[in-house]
Amino acid sequence: MGLTIEASHIFKAYNGHEVLKDCSFVFDRGGAYALLGPNGSGKSTLFRILSLLERPDRGQVRYLENGRFISADLNLRRRITLVLPRLGVFNTTVFRNAAYGLKLRGLAKGEIEARVNEVLDMVGLTKKRWQPALGLSSGETQRLGLARALAINPEVIFLDEPTASIDPVNIEIIEEIILTVKSRREATIIMITHDPGQAQRLGDHLLVMKNGKIMARGV
């Protein structure tokens, strides 16, 4: 069980401006990584590439299972997920947002309901499950993003600034949720944060984005 991610010699430029320059790193299965770095240093770009949303200009991202490379097809894409910094909430109820990924996978109704209720309970949105998701506060929205991602039981979860621009109470709730996910040891967690304290609290490995590369920053 578990996926290891190997990024090797990734290059990515936008309009001639090189964002990622020969970026290589191995994320071991089951680890919890926190990535720091200034705005515009290419963290989100790297996440989109690692989560197979975007292709690098050069270099490659490979996933390994039991020491063997596995192909980057839909099947693999469905074992990983990225929680975007701006979520992209669907204009429907909280419940249906959380159920989205399961529905895509063609799960039975009862199964979907059970799983969605579980994750909504985990993020404290059970009471709001029939409300329009676009009416949620920013903290609740971010929690819904987590629920939506966790519903599909991802083996790797990328979190792009999951607590940016939300209130301290919600930050604490979200950190608790992430710690719960971590304690279950079911998923590799890779997150971007601007808060070194948060990186310490949630991550086992601290990384920094610098000059288009990932560097380890001690433990």
Partner 1 sequence: MESLIAGLAGSTILGVNLVELLGIIWLSLKVSVSALAIVTLVGLPLAAFLALKNFPLRGAVINLFNTFMGLPPVVVGLFLYLILSRRGLLGFMNLLYTPAAMVLAQTILAFPLVVSLSHAALVKVDPIIRQAAMTLGATSRQQAVTIIQEARYGILAGVMAGLGRATAEVGAVIMVGGNIAGYTRVMTTTIALETDKGNFALAMALGIILLAISLLINLALRAVQKMGRTESGIILWD
Ligand X SMILES: Nc1ncnc2c1ncn2[C@@H]1O[C@H](COP(=O)(O)OP(=O)(O)O)[C@@H](O)[C@H]1O
- 84 scored as a contact of partner 1 (CB under 8 A): yes
To Mg ion, the closest distance from the beta carbon of 108 in angstroms equals: 37
User: Nearer to partner 1 by C-beta: 96 or 206?
Assistant: 96
Tokens read off for 10: 């990734």
Q: What is the DSSP letter of 93?
A: B
42-71 positions binding Mg ion, by CB under 5 A: 44
- 4 scored as a contact of Mg ion (CB under 5 A): no
CB 76 within 8 A of CB 83: no
User: Nearer to Mg ion by C-beta: 35 or 112?
Assistant: 35
User: Nearer to Mg ion by C-beta: 44 or 198?
Assistant: 44
Residue 112: contacted member of partner 1, Mg ion, ligand X, none (CB under 5 to 8 Å, by partner type): none
- 53 scored as a contact of partner 1 (CB under 8 A): yes
* CA count, 13 A, side-chain hemisphere, 40: 3
Give the interface with ligand X as residue ranges (CB under 6 A). 14, 19, 37, 39-45
To partner 1, the closest distance from the beta carbon of 112 in angstroms equals: 11
**29 to 48: interface string for partner 1, x by CB under 8 A:** --------------------
Q: Residue from 117, 126, 132, 186 that binds partner 1 (CB under 8 A)?
A: 132
Q: Residue 22 phi/psi, 5° resolution?
A: 55, 55
Residue 105: contacted member of partner 1, Mg ion, ligand X, none (CB under 5 to 8 Å, by partner type): partner 1
* Helices marked H in the chain: 43-50, 74-77, 94-104, 109-122, 138-150, 168-184, 196-202
Between CA 156 and CA 27 the distance in angstroms is: 10
Between CA 114 and CA 72 the distance in angstroms is: 29
Tokens read off for 110: 């009862």
Residue 135: contacted member of partner 1, Mg ion, ligand X, none (CB under 5 to 8 Å, by partner type): partner 1
Q: Which of 11, 50, 8 is CA-nearest to residue 188?
A: 50
Element (H, E) at 199: helix 196-202
Residues 6+ positions from 179 with CB-CB distance below 8 Å: 201, 202
Beta strands 188-192 and 32-36 are parallel
User: Nearer to ligand X by C-beta: 48 or 128?
Assistant: 48
Q: Which residues bind partner 1 (CB under 8 A)?
A: 51, 53, 74, 77-78, 81-84, 86-93, 96, 100-101, 104-105, 132, 134-135, 148-149, 152
